[in-house]
Amino acid sequence: MHASKKVLLVLMLGAASGPPIAPALAGDAAAARAKVRTLCQNCHGENGVAVLPGAANLSGQQKEYLRLQLRAYRSGSRHNDQMSIIAKTLTDADIEDLSEWYSAIKVTVEMP
Ligand code: HEC
């Protein structure tokens, strides 16, 4: 393959119809969607594609990574003026739901 080689990477972390990792996914997804709409989408988008230039894209990110970052903002070990305030309002269940929401969004990536 040459420089034009393209790699297509598909992240599929089963949303609503995925494998039964989380039995209560439907309820959690509804709770997460409501939280995303009120707390996150103005900067990160409901679909996890950032709408604020300084915010991160979250869709398709590792669930464990999202969980760790949200906990870090909440504990103060990671600081950002906006995220630190928002994270302090989140319960453990919120962090779980939100991490599940953004990690379950399917993204495709194509190398340049
Ligand atoms: C006012 C805008 C704003 C809102 C609202 C907001 N964020 Fe953020 N978020 C940011 C910014 C800016 C960053 C980058 C912060 C930094 O540099 O540490 C960020 C970073 C993050 C990160 C770390 C990303 C990474 O790649 O390390 C996560 C996870 C995250 N936000 C989740 C959320 C969730 C979940 C919500 C809703 C509960 C939310 N954010 C609401 C602005 C926002």
d(CA 81, CA 61): 22
Nearest residue (CA) to ligand 1, atom 17: 80
Q: Closest by alpha carbon to 102, among 55, 53, 44, 27?
A: 44
Spell out the per-residue pLDDT of the chain, length 112, in tens.
444 444 333 333 333 444 444 444 556 788 899 999 999 999 999 999 999 999 999 999 999 999 999 999 999 999 999 999 999 999 999 999 999 999 999 999 999 9
42 lines ligand 1 (CB under 6 A): yes
Reported as a single tens digit per residue, the pLDDT across 43-72 is 999 999 999 999 999 999 999 999 999 999
Which atom from ligand 1 is nearest to the alpha carbon of 41? Answer: 5
d(CA 109, CA 89): 33
d(CA 50, CA 82): 14
Tokens of 89: 């309002």
106 CA → ligand 1 middle, Å: 19
